[in-house]
A and B are shown apart, each in its own frame.
Chain A
Amino acid sequence: MNGYRRLSECEGIVVMKTGENNYMLQLRNISMIFAKDTVDEVTALENVNLDVREQDFITIIGSNGAGKSTLLNIIAGVFPPEKGGSIIIAGDDVTNLEEHKRAAYVGRVWQQPEVGTAGKLNLEENLSLALLRGKPRKLEMAINKKRRQIFRDALSMLELGLENRLSTPIGTLSGGQRQALALLMATISKPDILLLDEHIATLDPKTAQTVLRLSDMIIRRERMTTIMVTHNMEIALHYGNRLVMMHKGRIVVDMGEAEKEALTIGDLVAAFEQAAGEQFNDDSVLLSQH
């Protein structure tokens, strides 16, 4: 399977994108060891397994260095997992697919708005690059009337007034505007999975709220299967239908909607501290259910 779009991309055809069992993403035995066989050896991920259903919206929490970003990097194909691990997206085994080919499946927003957008190019050029995710790039004009209209429609949905600034260089936008654009670029070609890595962490509280609200809106409207990393417990509890906690390269908590709803921030913080403080012997953190 190459990185190019499948049947589901064709207009008017609705097909089930997931593989067998309705899983949009399946991680099997994913380990990642950095600087192997040196004194700096770090096991960033240790035998992680995760099944993500279509339209799941998972929030991931975990202390610094828990392996959250590494997990997203592995899903996005930045580096391959250790031998024996496999990654299946929408039924396709993508374990050995390079990052630029994996892009057909995965949209991404990083912590810094500068990573997700090209500062020297303008708005419509950035969006045009994003619109062609997973499609072969041709010797045709990157921007045309039809595409401009698509960009305007998409931008007006953000309600930031960007639809009238298609030729503004990205470098002159505010961090929040830029991150909203990065979000749009990650989703405009409707990849199978959306990865958000602390994507509101560098924004001021009000802008962060706006971008988070936009994220939620796009995820719902496009029915995106999403994994969102955050350090904010309230956000982790409030958003999504599933919550995962990572610790030292392992998934130590994985709970569904019902469990999540019954949980208070206090419970979560306690569980988090327990994990961080390692006041337990086995791998799973015991959550006190009131």
Chain B
Amino acid sequence: MDVGLLAVSLYEGLVFGLVTIGVYLTFRVLTFPDLSVDGTFPLGGAIAAVLIVSGVNPFLATLAAFGGGLAAGLVTGLLNTKLRISALLSGILMMVALYSVNLRIMGRANIPLLREITSFDMVARILGVHNGVGLSIGFVLVVVAIFVAGLNWFLRTEVGLALRATGDNEQMVRSLGSNTNKNVLLGCAISNGLVALTGALVAQNQGFSDIGMGIGMIVMGLASVIIGEGVFHPKSITSILLACLGGTFLYRLFLNVALRLGMPPGDLKLVTAVLVIIVLAVPHIRKKVRGEWLPPAVRM
């Protein structure tokens, strides 16, 4: 396996790791299956691209994309908590609505950024180094480290603990005096903020923002969560966050190797599905072989 393949997988593992953490927050922590991710990822790309093209500082543009994601997540949460629309449907509605919103923001389906100064260019210029994959990894590593450290702290605070408990036992959390609706809103906002932030970074790194760049993002995030859990068996909050990054890296590495081996890109979705099935099925089959007790199938 060559270094280039590892480097690209490392970059992707880090940057998409934020999407995975976002998906983890909603699906696992809040038990709120939020599908709006497929819309908030290109939302981040759209906001960043439009602002950068119009001359805004690329760091500010990236921050604005994060803000846009926070707002979109808030709306998804409001649909659920205020209008009592199911979590699944709230996410789907947002995903669909955001497609039009993103088109409106961009004004067209694709905005090239190759001629613009992106955050990556800025960092390269400040450090006086060549803008290559090494720099991409370094910059993204810093961003990811900041957010992972922030979440690692936040989830242990009084507010963060109440948020975590909300997904576990909502009735109990209410009876102990925490507003569970607010906790859900906060969790959805943070999750989609992270996703939009990634969209902004990815758009700048690849040199364009595209209306279709969010397709399959939720599946990718879920696959990474499942791989991270299956491989690393995380227990503490820190290890969970790191397992999200690790799972994303392994997933990306797997895809990149498959591509390198000549797999047509169109087959990658099938590969993803098979990979998730394997990771989920292995523990079950292992138990079956050992003759252990098998829990009934879960439907959520």
Q: Which residues of A contact B (CB under 8 A)?
A: 3, 76, 98-101, 103-104, 106, 108, 114-121, 125-126, 128-130, 132-135, 137-143, 185
Which chain A residues lie closer than 8 Å to B160 at the CB level? 142
**A114, A120, A143: which has the most chain B beta carbons within 10 Å?**
A120
Closest chain A residue, CB of each to CB of B177: A103
What are 22 A-B contacts with C-beta separation under 8 Å?
Answer: A98-B179, A99-B174, A99-B175, A100-B175, A100-B177, A100-B179, A100-B180, A103-B174, A114-B169, A115-B169, A115-B172, A118-B169, A118-B173, A119-B168, A121-B161, A125-B164, A132-B178, A137-B159, A140-B157, A141-B158, A142-B157, A143-B156
CA–CA, A142 and B161, complex, Å: 7
Known: A118-B165, A139-B157, A139-B158. A133 touches B171 (CB 8 A): no
CA–CA, A121 and B236, complex, Å: 10
Known: A115-B171, A119-B169. A133 touches B161 (CB 8 A): no
Closest 10 pairs (CB-CB, A-B) = A103-B177, A137-B158, A142-B161, A118-B168, A118-B169, A120-B168, A142-B158, A133-B177, A100-B174, A118-B165
Which chain B residues lie closer than 8 Å to A3 at the CB level? 177
Asked if A121 and B177 make an inter-chain contact with CB atoms under 8 angstroms apart, the answer reads no
Closest chain B residue, CB of each to CB of A120: B168
Asked if A128 and B169 make an inter-chain contact with CB atoms under 8 angstroms apart, the answer reads no
Asked if B176 and A130 make an inter-chain contact with CB atoms under 8 angstroms apart, the answer reads yes
Asked if B165 and A121 make an inter-chain contact with CB atoms under 8 angstroms apart, the answer reads yes
Q: Nearest-CB distance from B105 to chain A (Å)? A: 32
CA–CA, A134 and B161, complex, Å: 15
Asked if B174 and A129 make an inter-chain contact with CB atoms under 8 angstroms apart, the answer reads no
Q: Nearest-CB distance from B183 to chain A (Å)? A: 9
Which chain A residues lie closer than 8 Å to B177 at the CB level? 3, 100-101, 103-104, 132-135
Asked if B156 and A108 make an inter-chain contact with CB atoms under 8 angstroms apart, the answer reads no
Q: Nearest-CB distance from B289 to chain A (Å)? A: 25
Which chain A residues lie closer than 8 Å to B176 at the CB level? 103, 129-130, 132-133, 185
Interface residues of B in 133-167 (CB under 8 A from A): 154, 156-162, 164-165
Which chain B residues lie closer than 8 Å to A103 at the CB level? 174-177
Which chain B residues lie closer than 8 Å to A120 at the CB level? 164, 168
Asked if B168 and A138 make an inter-chain contact with CB atoms under 8 angstroms apart, the answer reads no
| Tally of A-B Cβ pairs under 8 angstroms | 87
Q: Contact string, B242-279, partner A, CB cutoff 8 A, digits 1/0?
A: 00000000000000000000000000000000000000
Which chain A residues lie closer than 8 Å to B169 at the CB level? 114-115, 117-119
**B165, B168, B174, B175: which has the most chain A beta carbons within 10 Å?**
B175
Known: A118-B165, A121-B168, A129-B162. A141 touches B174 (CB 8 A): no
Asked if A129 and B173 make an inter-chain contact with CB atoms under 8 angstroms apart, the answer reads yes
CA–CA, A211 and B115, complex, Å: 71
Asked if B178 and A129 make an inter-chain contact with CB atoms under 8 angstroms apart, the answer reads yes
Q: Nearest-CB distance from A30 to chain B (Å)? A: 19
Asked if A125 and B158 make an inter-chain contact with CB atoms under 8 angstroms apart, the answer reads no
Which chain A residues lie closer than 8 Å to B173 at the CB level? 100, 118, 129
CA–CA, A141 and B177, complex, Å: 18
Which chain B residues lie closer than 8 Å to A137 at the CB level? 158-159, 161-162, 178
Asked if A139 and B162 make an inter-chain contact with CB atoms under 8 angstroms apart, the answer reads no
Closest chain A residue, CB of each to CB of B169: A118
Q: Nearest-CB distance from B89 to chain A (Å)? A: 25
CA–CA, A185 and B169, complex, Å: 14
Closest chain A residue, CB of each to CB of B162: A137
Which chain B residues lie closer than 8 Å to A104 at the CB level? 177
In addition to A100-B173, A101-B177, 17 A-B residue pairs with Cβ atoms within 8 Å of each other are A3-B177, A100-B179, A103-B176, A116-B172, A119-B168, A121-B161, A129-B178, A130-B176, A132-B176, A132-B178, A134-B177, A137-B159, A137-B161, A139-B159, A140-B158, A141-B157, A142-B158
Asked if A129 and B157 make an inter-chain contact with CB atoms under 8 angstroms apart, the answer reads no
Closest chain B residue, CB of each to CB of A119: B168
Known: A99-B175, A100-B178, A115-B171. A121 touches B164 (CB 8 A): yes
Which chain B residues lie closer than 8 Å to A116 at the CB level? 172, 175
Which chain B residues lie closer than 8 Å to A117 at the CB level? 169, 172
